[in-house]
A and B are shown apart, each in its own frame.
Chain A
Amino acid sequence: MYRSRRSRLIGLAYLAPALLFVLAFTAWPLAQMIWMSFHNWSLITPPRWVGMANYQRAFADDQFWVSFAFTLEYTAIITPLLIVGGYLLALLTSPSSPSRRLTRTMVFIPVVIGLGVSSLLWYWLFSTDFGLVNRALMDLGLISKPVLWLGVDADRSNLAIIASVTWKVIGFGMILFVGAIQAIPTEITEASLVDGASYWQRVRRVVLPLTLRTVLLVTLVSVIGSLLAFDQFYIMTAGQPQNETATSVFYVYLNSFPYLRLGYGAALSVILALTILVFTVVQLLLTRRSHA
């Protein structure tokens, strides 16, 4: 049946719904977005062709650069925390004893809850007067009066948000690293034990090299995720102070929806999509190589 003359048609019939769906709800919006990015449009007035003006405007727009730089800063700080932290947790929890497995499960729980909800939770924990972070720090004598964590100072807000997101997603890398570490053949581990290698020597010379591809892939996935950060900033700082903590996606959202600069928002979206594309292509290349 799979090789009959009609099989091509049957196959296409099975594919058709998915193909039409992607065409209508992914490819068509993508084409529209590119078209919009060459127009000025505010919903009230009809779209007007402006050529590259929206792109030129973006590169001359201070807030665009502030958002871009802030997003990069956020990504540059959180990625090493997630990767190194996740890897150390994986080393700790990859042996299959009950206590290690329990730890693995606990670390992973925040990964399955929503980023929006976890941001609300941490919005409360970091709240100046009602939050437990300030309460605990004061009880420990580390601070003498409540700290304004969110929305007043960009760096301090960033720090608080990074702490909360690290808590939320560190288990993602960990669980994938555990998988990679457990996939190392036992003969290799035993051989290095017989050679009398110390634990950290073994990690550096054997475990890390054999799990490097996973480390790279998780790094890419988490860089892409961080570059697209939105929920945590929308909820925890709303971009304050003065949009200093508005990430790239946040700025696209601000332009497209509250400000209704549809064309400009679309141009920002295209720039964002192209930035992400670079990382996705590397990711796909790395993934492909594993099939060969």
Chain B
Amino acid sequence: MTATVELGRARAVAARRRLRGRRRSGYLLGALCAAICAVMVAPLVMSVLASVKPTEEAAASPPTYLPHALSLDSFERLWTYQQGLPTYLANSLGTALLTIAFTLVLTVPAAYALARFPIPFKEVVFVFLLLALIVPYQALLTPMFLMFARIGLTNTLVGLAILHTVIQLPFSLYILRNSLSAVPLELEEAAITDGASSWQVLLRVCVPSTVPAIVTVALFAFIMSWNEFLGALVLMSRGSSFTLPLILAAARTETSLGGTDWGMLQAGITISIIPCVLVYLLLQRYYVSGLMTGAVK
């Protein structure tokens, strides 16, 4: 009798100890998570804080951690820097929107054809369309630059958007083809029996049932185009056609007489990261699912 009680008590003690141990490791893991969050966010926060320092403080050496006063001077200087921030924002945004448009116009019908129609040599055609996945675009820039120079597409948003579409096409096609293949055939057959043409089926049945995939494709196209650097560096040589990353990279070295205008650079960095982070936080689900299908499946 006593033995059982003892045993029961011992078990209870052990369980309590285990619970306490788990709670302690829970706190430890919580602290670890907090530390990791801090490390990841700190550079971004420091940059945003530096962008609102007054001009003199932004140029201070050694730098201050937190701004002693708040000011939008850096943003004002960026607003009028060279051709002015509105020009660069318009270039970046225009290129990104054109990239989204080109990508969707090309890949939605192509994915539909691959998912539904009896295409001769379908596998070969598919691999051909994924060519940009096999040959890195970094290696194609010289011939593209020469071609674009000949047909007058260098220094144009359309030209840069074409290059960005080349980069984004394989991923988009892959995602859309998978998603269109998964649309139940019965839906389309019902529409066909009602006398719909294939074009109507695509627009009224397939597109509405693949909205998540289309959002994913548009989202990735936007983020890639907004951020892409090397292609823009090669194709855009005129200052007035620079995108945001280009003008900031230029501003890094050539601003004013006293060297780099750090405050203005921070203002530019802040403005560049805001849309990406916002779009990601709003559409996180699409982003993660796109990444899963695109990269590992």
Contacts and interface: CB of A to CB of B under 8 A. Distances in A.
Contacts of A130: 59-63, 260, 262
A290 B297 contact: yes
A230 B138 contact: yes
A66 interface: no
Chain B interface size range: 35 or more
Interface stretch (A53-61, A75-83, A109-117): A109-117
Interface string B135-172: 11011111111110000000000000011011001000
B109 interface: yes
A179 B223 contact: no
Contact of B252 (A22, A103, A110, A120): A120
A112 B33 contact: no
B112 interface: yes
Contacts of A175: 288, 291
A105 B292 CA distance: 15
Nearest to A1: B192
Contacts of A221: 295
Interface in A274-291: 276-277, 280, 284, 287, 290
Contacts of B138: 228, 230, 249, 252, 269, 272
Interface stretch (A13-21, A153-161, A201-209): A13-21
Interface residues of A, number: 94
Interface string A250-283: 0011001100001001100110110011001000
B269 interface: yes
Interface in B25-43: 29-30, 32-33, 36-37, 39-41, 43
A257 B280 CA distance: 35
| Candidate in A21, A28, A134, A257 with the most chain B CB atoms within 10 angstroms | A21
A37 B227 CA distance: 30
B43 A167 contact: yes
A2 interface: yes
A110 to B, nearest CB: 7
A95 to B, nearest CB: 9
Contact of A17 (B43, B105, B132): B105
B140 A29 contact: yes
Interface of B: 29-30, 32-33, 36-37, 39-41, 43-44, 46-47, 50, 59-63, 65, 105-107, 109-110, 112-114, 116-120, 125, 128-129, 131-136, 138-147, 162-163, 165-166, 169, 173, 192, 198, 201-202, 223, 226-230, 233-234, 245, 248-249, 252, 260, 262, 265-266, 268-269, 272-273, 276-277, 279-281, 284, 287-288, 291-292, 295-297
Contacts of A249: 138, 230
Nearest to B193: A1
A138 B131 contact: no
Given A26-B132, A130-B59, A273-B135, A18 B169 contact: yes
A50 interface: no
Interface in A153-197: 167, 171-172, 175-176, 179-180
Contact of B125 (A19, A21, A107, A179): A19
